[in-house]
Amino acid sequence: MQKPVNYCDSFASHQFDMSDSVKDFDLPWTWLDEGLRQLREQQLLRERRTVETLPGGRCRVDGHEFWNFAGNDYLGLAGDERVRSAAMDAIQKSGAGSRASALVTGRTPWHNALETRLAEIKHAESALLFPTGYAANVGTLTALMGADDVVFCDRLNHASLIDGCRLSGAKFRVYPHRDVDRLQQLLERETVGRRRFIVTDSLFSMDGTQAPLRELAEVADRFEAILIVDEAHATGIYGDHGTGLLEANRVALSRVVSVGTLSKAIGSQGGFITGPRRLIDWLWNSARTQMFSTALSPACCAAALAAIDLIEQEPERRTWLRETWQLVIQELRGQGWTVPEAVDGPIIPVIVETSERVLQLNDELRQHGVFVAAIRPPTVPRNTARLRVSLSYDHGQAGIDALLRAMHSARSPNM
């Protein structure tokens, strides 16, 4: 009988001579050094930090505590006791993971209940879950579009939309941010493709601006195009029922594919699509990012179900958030910071242009106990580096006061 391989032993013996193994492991990768050096030189090298989440909108990074203004938990639901206990109950009943892709045996009663609930709140015939919002965008765009199609994309769309458009092989046309006139011109010019798609974020993730959804829907109708709207950052926040900007703008849904994430205001993890049944049936059978990936854990689904109930039952969370972002935007402008005119949401970009300056400010704010994301190219266009201040219901008045004090000190360091 053949002796089984002992991988632990073979790994140990391989590592026996450390100087040799370092040489072996390093050699094939030296070609990456130049790229990393360039990133460092341009102040674009990303740090890998470990962040502990603390209650009340705070976090601990490298042993120091901060107000966390760099997350997307806008309604403070990720740590809510009721959301956590729903997740724990699902783990007790079903275990930690889903064990298979949804297509095989990973679609549990929690997945079924969540898809039903998402379809209901979005007034759609059906819904489909994906492992992440990124996967929802890439999987949907590549399943719907091909080389014979043309896709029109807002210049500031999220990377997952851009990646999906590119991977689909469709002819790719970019229109300036929120510029519906320019989009129409492009549509008038592109008459030959099989189908036309317009793709947009609803609340832009790095800019805090809103897409002109009513106008985009009218244009889509007129040109018989399909409108794909990524509601990642708007879900839970806008509209009378908190389902997003499509609801707030009362956009008719016949030509619209709505994408959402569970990972922002819903406080869990995962992505979803809502739409007509035949669209969902098609994606179930052809969106590779959900077909060939393990289904969400039941705990994520249970947490999302509990959070969706809370979004409905506690509208005061989004009311507080709206009133607070309006006040913070006004205060920051009053302090002399550049917050673009069209910003209208819990994501507040403070434009400072250079990567060097944004890193410096980020450091100063940390010294004042406030953690804010420093966003640099390629996440945003060159010369538009920014602090991305994101607000959460968890911050409460104490957090907002701390933010405004820190921003004031960073603006006028000698005062």
- Positions that interact with ligand PLP (CB under 6 A): 132-134, 137, 158, 160, 201, 205, 230, 232-233, 261, 263, 271
In the complex, minimum distance from the CB of residue 58 to ligand PLP, in angstroms, rounded to a whole number: 21
Element (H, E) at 229: strand 226-230
Q: How far is the CB of 324 from ligand PLP (least distance, A)?
A: 21
For residue 328, give the nearest of 343, 311, 318 by alpha carbon. 343
What is the spatial distance between Cα 119 and Cα 393, in angstroms, rounded to a whole number? 26
CB-CB contact of 206 with 379 (8 Å)? yes
Q: How far is the CB of 203 from ligand PLP (least distance, A)?
A: 8
* Angle of helix 316-334 versus helix 298-313 axis, rounded to 10: 80
Based on CB atoms, which residue is closest to ligand PLP, 170 or 232? 232
Output the smallest distance, CB 299 to ligand PLP, in A: 16
Nearer of residues 269 and 355 to ligand PLP, judged by Cβ: 269
What distance in Å separates the CA atoms of residue 314 and residue 312, rounded to the nearest whole number?
A: 6
Name the residue with tokens 């949907």. 140
Between 217 and 296, name the residue whose CB sits nearer to ligand PLP: 296
**Of residues 271 and 349, the one with the C-beta less far from ligand PLP:** 271
As measured in angstroms, the least distance from the Cβ of 137 to ligand PLP is 6
Nearer to ligand PLP, 110 or 134 (CB): 134
CB of 3 to ligand PLP, least distance (A): 45
Cα separation, 278 vs 293, whole angstroms? 22
- Which CB sits closer to ligand PLP, 124 or 232? 232
- Judged by CB, which is closer to ligand PLP: 205, or 355? 205
Tell the smallest beta-carbon distance from residue 26 to ligand PLP (Å). Answer: 33
Q: Are residues 398 and 372 in contact, defined by beta-carbon separation less than 8 angstroms?
A: no
Q: Which tokens go with 206?
A: 């790095």
* Minimum distance of ligand PLP from residue 152's CB (angstroms): 17
Q: Are 223 and 178 a contacting pair, CB within 8 Å?
A: no
State the amino acid at position 95 in one-letter form.
G
Cβ burial 264-297 (10 Å sphere, 16+ → b, else e): bbbbbbbbbbbbeeebbebbbeebebbbebebbb
Backbone angles phi, psi at 177, to 5 degrees: -50, 120
**Contacts of residue 346, Cβ cutoff 8 Å, sequence gap at least 6:** 74, 208, 233, 237, 321, 325, 390, 391, 392
- Closer residue to ligand PLP in complex, CB, 232/311: 232
Using CA atoms, how far apart are residues 198 and 221, in angstroms rounded to an integer? 11
DSSP symbol at 47: P
The residue whose Cβ lies closest to ligand PLP is: 133
CB of 73 to ligand PLP, least distance (A): 12
Closest CA to 344 of 227, 213, 228: 213
Q: In the complex with ligand PLP, which residue's Cβ is closer, 3 or 46?
A: 46
Q: How far is the CB of 228 from ligand PLP (least distance, A)?
A: 11
Instruction: Decide whether 80 or 201 has the Cβ nearer to ligand PLP.
Output: 201
DSSP category for residue 63: T
